[in-house]
Amino acid sequence: MDPWNLTPKEWTNVLLEGITPETVAKDIANRKFLPWSKNLLQFTEDSKEVLDLGCGAGQHSALLANNGRKMTLLDLSQENLDFSAGVFEILGLNGRFCLADMTMPLPFEDNSFDTAFSCGVFEYFTDEEIKSVLREAFRVSKKRVIIMVPNALSLAYRVGYWYTKKTKQWKWGGERPFCTLKPYFKTVENIRFFEFTVAAKHSFNFLTMPKREVIKKLFIRALKLSDHSKPALLRQGYLLISIGEKTNKRGNY
């Protein structure tokens, strides 16, 4: 399956549907956030400067900023950046907002950030684009790069994906899930690589067929699925989290 992307305007319509800066800020203030947000908090605990590649509505960056990180948000859509800036303003947070295409050389000096991360973006890039963006992300990061994409091994997600495509309900562009991002990270030298999946229960949100609630309850009960941020059993988490830590010598894969 070849990836293809929506236009910046189309992405804005999809990402910001049904939410406002006020509702996003309220959720963050009330500590209501997605399971993988906890993973971002964990893996940026030692980071002061953090770069969000493809910030969307800015939820992740606002959460990190609310927990002491100095955030730079980069996105291809000015509307997304304006929305994110509104969330930051409501929460009384400071951030830097950068309009740029991450598939091009990033407008930052080497080692400008401690950590760079991207959530829900790399699944729309070609193989060569992924390798190029990763090289740039590592260039501007001192410590690590974190990439989050849909998990191809998640059965519930794959069934939901198939059904919504078949019934023409899918709105997320040419998304392609991954079993692993290891081959792409291997093109970068001097890193230690690891990955895991999280949020198995969340994957059932993609089921839109009739009697989906019955199917969802049966599977969740039978497999004892949860939405915590710990690695999911049998790699059935909705989201694949791949992390490359910079080392002084070539790491083991």
Q: Indicate the pLDDT class of residue 4, thresholds 50, 70 and 90.
A: low
The SS3 call for residue 144 is strand
Looking at the predicted structure, is the pLDDT value of residue 48 above 60?
Answer: yes
Cβ pair 106, 40 in contact under 8 A: no
Its pTM stands at: 0.90
Burial class of 111 by CB neighbour count within 10 A (0 to 12, 13 to 18, 19+): middle
C-alpha distances in Å from residue 44, one per residue of 51, 107, 116, 125, 140? 11, 22, 9, 25, 15
**Listed residue (95, 93, 100, 139) closest to 121, CA to CA:** 100
Query: For 199-238, how does the pLDDT look when each residue is reduced to its tens digit (9 = 90+)?
Result: 888 877 766 767 667 766 776 676 666 666 677 777 888 9
Q: What is the pLDDT of residue 162?
A: 82
Total count of residues recorded for the chain: 253
Q: Tell me which residue has tokens 């990180």.
A: 69
Looking at the predicted structure, is the pLDDT value of residue 193 above 90?
Answer: yes
> Residues 6 or more apart from 245 whose CB is under 8 A from it?
143, 144, 191, 192, 193, 194, 251
Neighbours of 128 (CB within 10 A): 9
| Cα–Cα distance, 226 to 56 (Å, whole number) | 26
Looking at the predicted structure, is the pLDDT value of residue 99 above 80?
Answer: yes
Q: What is the pLDDT of residue 252?
A: 47
Cβ pair 227, 199 in contact under 8 A: yes
Query: For 161-170, how does the pLDDT look when each residue is reduced to its tens digit (9 = 90+)?
Result: 888 878 887 7
Helix boundaries (H) for the chain: 8-15, 21-29, 35-43, 59-65, 78-91, 127-139, 155-166, 182-185, 212-223
Q: For all residues of the chain together, what is the average pLDDT?
A: 89
Q: Which domains does the chain have, with CATH numbers?
A: 8-151+174-199+234-246 (3.40.50.150)
Looking at the predicted structure, is the pLDDT value of residue 2 above 70?
Answer: no
Query: For 106-145, how does the pLDDT look when each residue is reduced to its tens digit (9 = 90+)?
Result: 999 999 999 999 999 999 999 999 999 999 999 999 999 9
Q: Indicate the pLDDT class of residue 251, thresholds 50, 70 and 90.
A: very low
